[in-house]
Chain A
């Protein structure tokens, strides 16, 4: 039973398309995150939600919109995909915000052609 799951695992799409990545956690955590790992292997936070409320929003193009229908889910919608959006996107969760251990999903590999 997977703690943090993401779908799809792989996503290949054309420039200009709109796509969504879904994330679900069954750990009962209150806080969820989206990270991006680019081609240089930098793992950087994009967003963080606590109990469905946005608490961290790094400098991310507004083509990226997170949506949290409930505290167990945090989906990432990307409009007008660009080549530079190609990366691995990781979802994570933790019990609370603050210095807490975060648990990561397996990642979604997005390739924009």
Chain B
């Protein structure tokens, strides 16, 4: 049973435009959400996180939005740059557990 889902395996966006990556979850106990970026042959790198007490968190070009009623979060990258091309993983955890549950990732390609 996949509790964190990223339904788009890939996304292509032009440089300078907005990239929107989506993530849905089914476990209502999740209260902390993270986005990781992964380049080939490297480990995932933490990008941005959000606690369930917030609905938005912004860090430079990256903004994560959380809609708890819809059990949905999204990552916005504005403006997109070629160096943003990578696989993006959504992950979630509960408040008292250290276990992260990951989605299957979305491959973002930023074209010139």
Q: Are B97 and A102 in contact (CB under 8 A)?
A: no
Q: How many A-B residue contacts, CB cutoff 8 Å?
A: 60
A104 to B104 CA separation, bound complex (whole angstroms): 17
Known: A41-B105, A99-B51, A101-B34. A107 touches B42 (CB 8 A): yes
Known: A99-B93, A103-B46, A107-B42. A44 touches B98 (CB 8 A): no
In the complex, chain A residues whose CB is within 8 Å of the CB of B94: 99
B21-59: which have CB < 8 Å to A? 31-32, 34, 36, 41-46, 49, 51
B48-85: which have CB < 8 Å to A? 49, 51
What class of interface size applies to chain A in its complex with B? 20 to 34
Q: Are A100 and B44 in contact (CB under 8 A)?
A: no
Question: Is residue B102 within 8 Å, beta carbon to beta carbon, of the partner chain?
Answer: yes
Q: Are B43 and A100 in contact (CB under 8 A)?
A: no
Q: Are A106 and B89 in contact (CB under 8 A)?
A: no
Binding stretch for chain B, among A64-72, A73-81, A90-98: A90-98
User: B residues within 8 Å of A by Cβ?
Assistant: 31-32, 34, 36, 41-46, 49, 51, 89, 93-102, 104-105
